A and B are shown apart, each in its own frame.
Chain A
Amino acid sequence: MSDIESTRSEALAALEAVADAAALEAWRLEFLGKKGRVKALMKRLKDIPGDQKRAFGQGVNALEEELAAAFEGQKGRFGAAPKAAKKTLDITLPGRPPRIGTFHPITRIRDEMVEVMQSLGFEVVEGPEVEDEFHNFNALNIPPNHPARDESDNFYLEDGHLLRSQTSTVQIRVMEKKVAEAKSRAEAASEDDRERAGSLSFRVIAPGRVYRPDTVDASHHYMFHQIEGLAVDRNLTMKDLKVVLLQFFKGLFGTDVTIRLRPNFFPFTEPSAEVDVACTFCEGKGCATCSQKGWIEMGGCGMVDPNVFLAVGIDPEEYTGFAFGLGIERLAMRRFGIPDIRLLTENDIRFLKQFA
C-alpha cells in the first residue's frame, strides 16, 4: 500500500514541477503511459496475497484516476500538447508490385525477328508441324534415298507422316497457295489484265517449331525453332538476299553489324550460302563465343532452286526467289546468356520469370 502512496506523492510533486508541454508529456508517459509506473504497480497485483488483492487493485485504480484527472487539469497550461509522433509513411518499405508474368525468351526473340522482317515487307505465315514427304523432301529437291531422309534425322509417325525437320516446308506450302491464288486471280481478270493479275510477287517469313531426333544435351534438343524467309518475284537476285539479311541483322543487333555469305550446300537453294555475323564480342578476332572463328553462323540461305519452283508449278525462267532459314534458340541463348538449351523447355518458373 505504501508503494501506491509513495508513487502518488512523487507523481503529484513532479507534476507541480512541470514547466512546459514537453515535460508534461514526459510526465504522462512516466506515470500514465502503457509502460508507466501505474501500470507497473498493477502488474504486481498477482504477487499480492489473496486477502489484500482487492484493496490493492482498488488503490491502484483510484491512483490512476486521480493522476489522470490531475493531468487533465494541467493540460491546458502549455497550449496544445505536442502530438504523439505522427504516423509516417515508411518509404523504405518494399513496393507491392502488380502480379505480372513473362513472355518466353523464344517468343521474345521470335517477335523481334518478326517485327524487323515485317518492316522489310515480309508477312508472317505458318505451316503444319506434321508433314508429308512431299513437302518435307520431294518438293525441296531432296531425292528418295537421300541421307537427309534417314530415321536418325527425322521423327516418323506410324501413319507415314513425319514431324517437319525444317521450316523450309512452309516455302512449299506458301508457293502452292500463291500459285493457286494467282491462277484464280488470272481467271477472274479481263483478258488484257490477265498477265498482271496472274503474276507472283510475295515475301513471307515462317517462324515455327521443328523436330530432329538429336540426343538432348546442353546445346542440342530434339525440338527447336527456326524462322524461314522466302521472297519470290521477277527480278530478285542474290544481292537482294544479302541486303535483306544485312538489314535483318542490323535490326536485331544494331546498325554496325557486318555479315558475310559463305558458300554452302542445301538441296533447295542454289547458289547456297551460310550467313555469318561478325562476332560482336571480339570484333572478328576470335573468342570463346565464336569458337575462335571471328564469325557466328546464323543459318543457311540462297536462291530458290529451279527444281523447287518446278515442283510447285512456278516457271524458273520467269521468276527468281531467295530463301533463308535461321535458328532461334542459339540467338536467344546468346542474347540472354542462357547456358543450357534444356532450360528453355524445363519451364522452371524461376527461369521463366527472368525474362520480364
Chain B
Amino acid sequence: MKTTYEWIKELVPDWEGSVETMCERFTMSGSEVEGFERLGEEDAVIELQITSNRVDCNGIAGLARDFAAVVGQRYAHPDCRIEKGGPPVEDACEVELVESKGCNRYTALVIEGVVVGPSPDWLVQRLEALGLRPINNVVDVTNYVLFELNQPFHAFDLDRLAGHKIVVRRAEPGEKILAINGKEYELEPRMTVIADAERPVAIAGVMGGADSEVTEKTTRLLLETASFDRVSTRRTSRTLALHSDSSYRFERGVDDHALEAAARRCARLIVEVAGGTVREGIIDRGAPLERDRAIAFRWPQVRRVTGIDVPWDRCLEIFRSLGCEVKGGGDPTATVKVIAPTWRPDLAREIDLVEEIIRIHGLEALPEETTMTVVGVRENDRDRIRRRIKERLVGAGFSETLTTPFVDEALAGLCLFAERDPIVISNAMRKDENALRQSLLPSLLRVRKTNQDHGNDDVRVFEITVVYVVRVEGGIPEHIPILAGLLDGTFAEARGALEAVASGIGAGALDFSPLDAAGARLLDEEGGATVRLGDELLGYLGRPRDAVAAPFKLENRPWYFEIRLDRLAPRASLVPRFRPFSHYPPMKRDLAMIVDEGVTWGCIETLVRGLSLPNLESLAFFDEYRGKQIGAGKKSLAFSLTYRSDERTLTGEEVDGWQRRCIDTLERELGAQIRDR
C-alpha cells in the first residue's frame, strides 16, 4: 500500500512532523514502512505493509485515521457532501439485485452533464505518486477515491447500458465479456456479473466491460458503489487470472455501511473535475452484512494481558480516536460496552480491544521486567542421545548434511523398513521432487553425486532426520527418526563408525549378520549387513545395489548405513557406570590360524568364547592374510588373547593350557591349522 506524506497530513491537519517521523510512527503502530521516496521538496511517497486484519488501512483515509490516533491528533475525514438537486435518480435507471450472495449491497448514483477530459494537475500528481496512469477525469476520480476510502467504484456510461438497467446476477453459461483491459474473458456460471438488460457489462468486483466504459462522448454516468463477496471475488479473480485494485480490496473487504458516503465523496469530486449535477437520491439494493459490534470490555484485562496499567482515561481516548463508541464509560471497574466502528471488522472480541490499547499506547511502554521464576531445565534425553551420536560421528570424520525430504516419486518407494506406497505431494514445485522420502538413501546418494560433480573426494557425511511412512489409512504418516551415513571407505570403517555410535550412547555391542530380504532390496548382498542390537533390528549397512545407484551416475559405490533411532535410543545408557579392574599383570598371546575361505571371524570368536576360558579378558582380531604360503582357498586369521586374573598373577603354564584348548577346539571344529611364523 502506498500513500503520500502530504495526503496523510491533509487528513491529520494539526500534526506537524517530518517524513521520517511519520514513517517511524507508522512502523511502530503496526503498518510497517518498507521505505519512502522523496517527491519534490515537501512530499514523499511512503510504501507500507498492511497486515491482513487491517482492511481499513487499504485506504489512505483509514491509514490517516489510525495515524491520528497514534499521534493523538484530530482526524478530518474527506468531504462527502454533495449539492442537492437534479431530478430523482429512480427516473433515470433501474437496478435489480438478483445474486445477493455474491453482492450483499449495491448502490447507484447518476450524474448528468459531465464533460469527460483530462484530469487537473493535483489529481494527476496524486495518481502518479501512487503509480497509477491517468486516463480521464471521471475514471481518475474513481481510482482516487478507491485509494482514499478503500472503496472501489465503477462508472458506467449510462447511455450505453441497454435499457438503462443494471442487473446483478450470476453469469450464464457461455457468456463472454470484453473487459476494459482489451481482453475477452469467458465467464463461468458461479461468477457474479453486472449486466444491463442484455449482456454482462462488468465482472463483479474485478473489472468493467469495454462497451459500457466512460469515453469522451459520455455525458451521463451511473456510478456503482457496491460490496461484493470476498470469497467469490477471490475465486473469480483467480479463475480468470485477472487481478485489479478493485478485486484486491473486495477480496479483503470494504466497509459496506459506508457505501453511500463513499458514493457521495466520489460524485462530489467528479462534479468538481468534470462538471455536471448529481441526481437526487441513491438507489440502494441489499443491505450491509450485520454483525454484533458490541464488545464487553473489562479494563483489568489490559493489565492481565500486557502487564502494564494503561489509565482508564487513556483507554477511553484511544477507543474514541479509533472510532469506537463507549457506552457507560464512567466506571473502570465495571464491564463497559464498546461499539466497534463499521470499518474495523477485526474488532470483535475483548482481546482485540486490549491489543488496540497497547498498540496505540505503544509497545515501547512495556518495561523490561518480569516476575517469572527462572529455573533452567536440562537437555532432554532425545536431544542428548542425538548430540552424542553426532559428536561420535563428527569425531570419526563425518560431516553433518541437511537434505530436503523431497524426492522423485520413483525413488520415494525406497524404504529399508517397509514396503509402502510413496506419499505424494499434490502441488509439488518440481516433478523430480514430488514425494516424501522413506529412506535417506536417495538423499545421500545425491549428496555424493553433487560432490563428485564438484571434484570432491573422500566424502563422509551423515544426517539425523525423519522419514515418513504411511501407517494408518487417513492418519498422519509415521515419522521414523533415522540416522543415515555415507562414506567413501571400507566396510570396516563404516561398521566401526556404527559401533562408535552405539558405544557413544552406552547401547552395547551391535550385531552384524548377512542382509535380510528387506535390506537386500536396496543394498548389495556382497558386504551388506543387517544391524541388530540384541533381538532388535536397527537397520542396515552396505553398498547400494547397482539398480538403486544407477540414476546417480556415481563413479564409485560408497558405503551407506541407515539406523532407526527410535529403536536404538531406548537402549541408550547415558551415564556410564564404573567397573573395577584388575591390578594383576595381563598375559597376552597372539594366534594365527589357517582356515578355509568360508570360515568367518565370527565362527572363531563364537567357538573361543564358547570355551569360557578362565580369566580370558579379551579376544581381539587383528589381521587377515591370504597368500602363497597358505594356499588357495585358505586364509589366515590372526588374533590376540589377553588373560588376566582379578586375584593373582597368572603363570605361563596355565595360560599355555588354555591356549592349547583353544587351538585344539579350532583344529577339531574348523579343521584349522596353526600358522607357523
Contact = CB atoms under 8 A, between A and B. Distances in A.
Given A237-B305, A262-B28, A99 B376 contact: no
A243 B370 contact: yes
B424 A265 contact: no
Contact of B371 (A126, A240, A306): A240
A270 B372 contact: no
Given A235-B371, A262-B30, A305-B351, A123 B404 contact: no
Contacts of B372: 236, 240, 243-244
B476 A130 contact: yes
Interface size of B as a range? 35 or more
B425 A349 contact: no
Nearest to A154: B427
A106 B368 contact: no
Interface stretch (B92-100, B450-458, B662-670): B450-458
B358 A271 contact: yes
A265 B366 contact: no
Contacts of A156: 425-427
B363 A261 contact: yes
Interface string A130-144: 111000000000000
A234 to B, nearest CB: 10
29 contacts: A101-B395, A101-B398, A102-B399, A103-B400, A118-B376, A118-B377, A121-B376, A121-B377, A129-B405, A129-B466, A130-B477, A131-B476, A159-B423, A209-B465, A215-B429, A222-B406, A237-B305, A238-B363, A239-B366, A242-B368, A246-B368, A260-B364, A263-B29, A264-B30, A271-B359, A305-B351, A320-B304, A345-B402, A349-B459
Interface size of A as a range? 35 or more
A80 interface: no
B425 A157 contact: yes
Contact of A101 (B364, B393, B474): B393
A107 interface: yes
A35 B380 CA distance: 71
Contact of A118 (B367, B379, B476): B379
A263 B363 contact: yes
Interface string A147-190: 10001001111110101000000000000000000000000000
A100 interface: yes
A292 B52 CA distance: 25
A107 B390 contact: yes
A350 interface: yes
Contacts of B399: 101-102, 104, 349, 352-353
A240 B377 contact: no
Nearest to B457: A349
Contacts of B303: 237
Contacts of B395: 98, 100-101
Given A121-B373, A243-B368, 17 more contacts: A101-B460, A101-B462, A106-B402, A130-B423, A131-B476, A145-B231, A156-B427, A158-B426, A260-B364, A262-B27, A263-B30, A271-B305, A271-B354, A272-B355, A345-B404, A348-B456, A353-B399
Contacts of B354: 270-271
Contacts of A151: 427
Interface in B348-397: 349, 351-352, 354-355, 358-359, 363-364, 366-380, 382-383, 387, 390, 393-397
Nearest to A107: B400
A231 to B, nearest CB: 8
A280 to B, nearest CB: 18
Contacts of B101: none
Contacts of A121: 373-377
A238 B366 contact: yes
A129 B28 contact: no
Interface string A71-99: 00000000000000000000000000011
Contacts of A158: 423-426
B355 A348 contact: no
A232 interface: no
A270 B370 contact: no
Give 10 closest A-B pairs by Cβ, nearest first: A237-B307, A239-B307, A263-B30, A265-B51, A99-B397, A271-B355, A243-B370, A352-B399, A104-B400, A101-B399
A213 interface: yes
Contact of B424 (A157, A242, A303, A320): A157
Interface in B480-523: none
B32 A128 contact: no
B402 A350 contact: no
B370 A352 contact: no
Contacts of A274: 32
B363 A349 contact: no
A123 B456 CA distance: 40
Contacts of A98: 395
Contacts of A353: 399
Contacts of A244: 370, 372
Contacts of A246: 368
